[in-house]
Amino acid sequence: MSETHASKQIDHVMHEHRLFPPSKEFSNKARISTAEQYQEMYDRAKNDPDGFWGELGRNELHWFKPFDSVYERNGDVATWFGGGQTNLSYNCLDAQIAGGRGDRIAILWEGEPGETLTLTYTELHRQVCKFANVLKSLGINKGDVVSIYMPMTPELAIAMLACARIGAIHSVIFAGFSAEAIADRNQDARAKIQLTADGLWRRGKVLKLKDTVDQALLKSPTVQHCVVLKRIDRECSMQAGRDIWWHEAMESASADCPATPLDSEATSFILYTSGSTGKPKGIRHTTAGYNLWVKKTFEWVFDHRDSDIFWCTADCGWITGHSYVVYGPLSNGATVMMYEGAPNFPAEDRFWSIIERHKVTILYTAPTAIRAFIKWGDQHVDAHDLSSLRLLGTVGEGINPEAWMWYHRKIGGERCPIVDTWWQTETGGILMSPLPGVTATKPGSCTRPLPGVVPMIVDEELQPVEPNHGGMLCISQPWPGMLRGIWGDDERFHEQYWARVPNNYLTGDNARLDRDGYYWIMGRIDDVINVSGHRLSTIEVESALVSHPMVAEAAAVGRPDDIKGQAIAVFVSIKGSGSTAGLADELKAHVRKEIGALAVPDDIRFTSSLPKTRSGKIMRRLLRDIASGKAETSQDTSTLEDYTILAKLRSDEE
Ligand code: WTA
């Protein structure tokens, strides 16, 4: 590392040299099977985006009216397929049926109590048409916002597709958020209707969704109706004139509802994501560009084959569920596994039991889940036959190399490639990922950009950094799936993503490009730890800790230090219930050996769990407050999964 760059770039201290090329057997059958094929696509998308995307756009989507331009730069963002009209729901359903896949299973669902249900493309189409007619009968038109707060049941996907069918804009809110959070989002979006259920099953208990919604609707003046799915058959109050049962409305609804032709740039959905400060922002996505992006990225990254049973474990309340439970897989005619409940109900082997029973071939899950599985122990995995799996994926956070190795060995049987997919709510779909038949993977790296993605890494003075130095990750060229705005807040949109690095989309993540052309995501820009002028990435310190056999999870943050500027404080949860006596010193020595003296933690605290968002990301900003001894947090805690953790962590200090 050159000293002159020390304060502007991010220092890289982690060394990971293991390399895992795909097997010949996998590559031979893969849709993209050679590095040359990838390079050719990549170069064409970069140098001739008009030709590349124009051809894909024409061939891959159904057009009620053909587009007359591929893309046009329009202020910060580009607009795609201008002049054309298509429909997401049509591409996911009607186009599949027209292509002869009507009898294929679209959704293979398992509820937490254990019941299962399958829906073919024809049946899904019928239900979507019916529900679209229900929405219409309740006064929902093109451009109206539909707020969805539902369990992971097929009806959630049906609701989304029904909105898309008539050009209504859905705003899915994860069914674990509070009444306050729903009301905020409903207000911001000016939602016209609420969809919910009487309840949902979570770890064997009933979560009373309708009660929460009733509270939320007291503060959602724009919402006129509420449609309630009977999921658990419990008594719940129904307000006359406002509330309607899903099944009653569906009974009389016609199954005839042609898809509405929608402008390419029509808003398909908004999805609220918590910014690091302030109120959640409604990320706005479009119709044609988004559809093409999720369709192609699903095909490229998951190497989709007709025989696959694809299971993305994300909830539809997150972008991962939108893009890789619903729109990406269905517009490829795939069979999607959908599971309602918790991974540890009735026992910690639920995922492995689902894979074994339904013969899942592709598993796409999050590092937080993988770390939980490791903590729960191998015996839960060993009891099941996972030989149906052929490909694994991760998303949501960086994966620590040792967790990657466990996933590779224990779940993948050393046979399945792992696609570590880096992307964001804002990007619509995957931007960087290995191609499973091509890319030799390195544990902890999301490897290379997909065709159409042109990354750039700059230091704080906006100068491009040299290979192996970390800096701010930007994307230099528009891609079809990118967000088009923050709902109702153009200024925040510009400030947040475009103002700092002109003409580039600022991702908010730091990254490093290694000498082989592989990208390593180094965490959020705001989370960098600055020790004596050396800027360290959280993930590298955490990965060094996780590589110790006793450590299950770790979070590293900076706290103020008079001499060094910042000191490194780490929060560690250990595997099993062993003693932590002497472990702090051992971990310090371990980090010193793994990545060097610079990164040795000053404070180590042991904790049974870490504060996380409801989608499983470690909330380092809360830990920063605790590490620096603040009694109260000044941060927004509304997205915190378990409020009791903060109090527990604070009391551990005494
Ligand atoms: C992080 C989820 C490292 C990153 C699709 C990003 C990752 C944020 C990865 C977006 C990955 C996601 N490696 N970090 N493979 N995937 N992230 O909006 O910080 O929930 O900016 O979208 O998660 O999270 P979001």
Domain harbouring 84, CATH code? 3.40.50.12780
- Across residues 348-365, what is the average pLDDT? 98
Tell which atom from ligand 1 comes closest to the C-alpha of 508. 21
Q: Are residues 357 and 458 in the same domain?
A: yes
The residues pairing with 535 across neighbouring beta strands, listed in sequence order, are 530
Phi-psi region of 482 (alpha: psi -120 to 50; beta: other; left: phi over 0): beta
Claim to verify: residue 525 and residue 397 sit in the same structural domain: no
- Going along 173-299, which residue ranges are E strands? 193-197, 200-202, 205-207, 225-229, 243-245, 262-263, 267-273, 281-286
Lowest mean pLDDT among 415-419, 448-452, 499-503: 499-503
Give the model's pLDDT for residue 505: 97
- The reply to whether 63 and 83 lie within a common domain is yes
Give me 165's structure tokens.
């069918």
Residue 294 shares a structural domain with residue 379? yes
* 359 and 391 part of one domain: yes
Distance separating alpha carbons of residues 256 and 133, to the nearest angstrom: 8
- Quickly state the pLDDT bin for 644 (edges 50, 70, 90): confident
Is residue 448, in this structure, part of any structural domain at all?
A: no
Residue at a domain's end among 466, 490, 510: 510
- Has residue 484 been placed in a domain? yes
Please give the pLDDT value at position 3. Answer: 38
Q: Which protein residues are within 6 Å of ligand 1, measured from CB?
A: 273, 318-320, 395-398, 420-425, 446, 507-509, 521, 524, 615
In a domain, 475, yes or no: yes
Task: With respect to residue 27, please indicate whether it lies within any of the assigned structural domains.
Answer: no
With the most atoms of ligand 1 within 8 angstroms of its CB, the residue from 313, 322, 422 to mutate is: 422
Q: Which atom of ligand 1 is nearest to the CA of 524?
A: 19
Residues 502 and 647 in one domain: no
Q: In a mutational test of the pocket of ligand 1, which residue from 521, 538, 617 has the highest number of ligand atoms less than 8 Å from its CB?
A: 521
d(CA 448, CA 52): 19
Report which DSSP code applies to 559. Answer: E
Please count the structural domains in the chain.
Answer: 2
Mutate which of 397, 399, 404, 506 for ligand 1? The one with the most ligand atoms within 8 Å of its CB, which is 397
Distance from residue 398's CA to the centre of ligand 1 (Å): 7
pLDDT (tens digit per residue) in 560-612: 998 888 999 999 999 877 788 999 999 999 999 988 888 999 999 999 889 99
Exposed, middle or buried, 619 (CB in 10 Å: 0-12/13-18/19+)? buried
Q: Tens of pLDDT along 199-237? A: 999 999 999 999 999 999 999 999 999 999 999 988 899
Is 17 inside any structural domain? no
In a domain, 348, yes or no: yes
> pTM for the full model?
0.94
- Answer yes or no: is pLDDT of 17 > 90: no
Shared-domain flag, residues 567 and 646: yes
Residues 542 and 562 in one domain: yes
pLDDT at 652 over 60: no
In the block, tokens 């690095």 appear at 501
User: Among candidates 350, 347, 417, 357, which has minimal Cα distance to 26?
Assistant: 417
C-beta atoms surrounding 436 within 10 Å:
27
pLDDT tens sequence across 374-412: 999 999 999 999 999 999 999 999 999 999 999 999 999
Query: Which ligand 1 atom is at minimum distance from the Cα of 423?
Result: 5
Q: Residue 120 belongs to what domain range?
A: 34-440+454-510
Same domain as 174, residue 244? yes
Q: 425 and 534 share a domain?
A: no
| Residue of minimum CA distance from atom 6 in ligand 1 | 424
Look at residue 372 and tell me if it is in a domain: yes
- Is 50 part of any domain? yes
Q: What is the pLDDT of residues 233-289, one digit of tens each?
A: 888 999 999 999 999 999 999 999 999 999 999 999 999 997 655 678 999 999 999
User: Which CATH number is 541's domain given?
Assistant: 3.30.300.30
Query: Domain check: are 497 and 561 in the same one?
Result: no
The Cα 451–Cα 643 span in angstroms is 41
- Do 496 and 590 fall into the same domain? no
